[in-house]
Structure 1
Amino acid sequence: MTCYILPAHLLIELAEAGDVDLRDTIATLLASATLRAQRETLTEAVQFLDLNAAQLRGPAAEAKAVHDVQGGDERGLPGVLRRKEGDGAAADPTVNDAFDNADRTHDFYRDVLGRHSVDGNGLQLVSSVHFGRDFDNAFWDGTQMVYGDGSGKVFQPGALARDLTVVAHEITHGVVQYTAGLRYRKQSGALNESMADVFGSLVKQHALGQSADQADWLVGAGILGTQLQGVALRSLKDPGRAHQLDRQPAHMRSYVDLPDDGNPRNDHGGVHINSGIPNKAFHLAATRLGGNAWDRAGKVWYDALATKLRVNSTFTDAAAATVASAQALFGGEVASTVRSAWTDVGVS
Structure 2
Amino acid sequence: MMHEEQEAEITTEQLQSLKMCKIFKDHQKDINAIDFSKDGQYLVSCDDQALNVYDVHQGKKMRTLYNKVKEIDLVRFTHHNSCVLCVTKKEPYDIYYWSLHDNQILKKFTGHTNIIHWLDLSPVSDDFLSCSMDGTLRLWNLASEYQTSDGLLDLSAKKTFCVAAFDPSGQVFAVVFLEQYYCISNNWLYLYDFKKYHSGSFQSKKINCSQVKCIKFSNNNKYILCSTGDGTILILDAYTLDTICELSDFNNQGSMIEAGFTPDCNYVISGSETGTIHIWSLPNGNQIAKLDGHQKRCKVVKFCPTHFLMASGCRNLVLWIPDQFSVDSMNNNNSRRSLMSI
The normalised TM-score by structure 1 is 0.29
Instruction: Specify which structure has the higher proportion of helix.
Output: 1
Instruction: Specify which structure has the higher proportion of strand.
Output: 2
The normalised TM-score by structure 2 is 0.29
